[in-house]
Amino acid sequence: MQDPTYTIKRFKSWNQFKDFANQFSENWLFRGQSDSAWDLKSSFERTDFFKKYDGIESSFLIDFQRGAKNFLTERETPTDLIEWLALMQHHGAPTRLLDFTKSVYIASYFAFENVDPKTENVAVWAINIKVIHDRVVQHLKLSQLTDKDFETIFYSNDESCILPVESFQMNRRYSLQQSIFVSPGNSHESFMEQLQFLDEDITKVVLKITLPSKLKNEVLRDLQKMNINRASIFPDIDGYSVALKMKYNSMRTMEEYIKQQSELIKGKKFTFYP
């Protein structure tokens, strides 16, 4: 792969990151990844059958549709391609869609949630979806980008670009996560390769922000105050159980608490009892 042409921003502290994050407008989408060394890759790109033969993605989709109808009511059965892909993504079947969120802090949660202690840095990717949308419309010579256009792009499978995809019927989990999908134009090139359709704009449109993984407990405690945790974005008993475990795992140790109180006393700052 060619050398990365996107912008990289490195922060050493959570507060520095938050100050920077406040500058983003509503035109930006975010994705958290628990290792900064990872590229952006769809779940389909990570399968063992990626690139095995032309049309394998469509074959997989047809097989899923055929089998899934045995488990869905008529009301639950998707009515268009985007809804089918969203359903597949929700249930862990590989698709070309990549999950992004409108919230930089939800993306941060996903970056830190399951980070390996041996990993040095996590990453929060940021993309300007408005510029990408405008460039796609220009690239494909469209007046606007519709669901029908996406379907045409999906089945023709020969465009090298990325584009926003949003299902009209979002399930509760995706709504809480403020999710929007971003899709490559074809299934035989990597997501990172297809980002290059942005040309010189990529440095202004795609940003990878890195943070030390050792900040995990501090970050998760702060996000908990914002009501961003596993229970709030996965609203079921499984999500609640994991959220409770992470809440206790990220608690300050007695040594950390004593150190914090000592620093506050030195700075002559008032603090409440824990």
Task: Tell me what pLDDT residue 34 has.
Answer: 97
SS3 of the chain: helix, strand, coil, percent, to 5: 45, 15, 40
Residues 176 and 32: their CA atoms lie apart, in Å, by: 16
**Any domain includes 174:** yes
**Any domain includes 68:** yes
Q: Which of 113, 79, 87, 124 is nearest to 228 (CA)?
A: 113
Task: Tell me what pLDDT residue 68 has.
Answer: 93
Q: Coil, strand or helix: which one is 152?
A: helix
**Any domain includes 115:** yes
Task: Tell me what pLDDT residue 127 has.
Answer: 97
Q: Provide the phi-psi class of 160: left if phi over 0, else alpha when psi is between -120 and 50, else beta.
A: beta
Question: Which domain does 188 fall in, by range?
Answer: 7-228
Task: Tell me what pLDDT residue 173 has.
Answer: 47
Task: Tell me what pLDDT residue 166 has.
Answer: 80
**Any domain includes 248:** no
> What is the residue-wise DSSP string for 25-43?
-TTEEEEEES-TTPPP--T
* Number of domains observed in the structure of the chain: 1
Task: Tell me what pLDDT residue 239 has.
Answer: 44
Q: Coil, strand or helix: which one is 79?
A: coil
Q: Which amino acid is at 109?
A: Y
**Any domain includes 250:** no
Each residue's pLDDT, cut to its tens digit, for the chain (274 residues) gives: 454 589 999 999 999 999 999 999 999 999 999 999 999 999 999 999 998 888 999 999 999 999 998 999 988 899 899 999 999 988 899 999 999 999 999 999 999 999 998 999 999 999 999 999 999 999 999 988 999 999 999 999 999 999 999 865 554 444 545 678 999 999 999 999 999 999 999 999 999 999 999 999 999 999 999 999 888 887 555 545 554 565 656 666 666 656 666 665 665 544 443 4
Task: Tell me what pLDDT residue 118 has.
Answer: 93
**Any domain includes 198:** yes
**Any domain includes 270:** no
**Any domain includes 268:** no
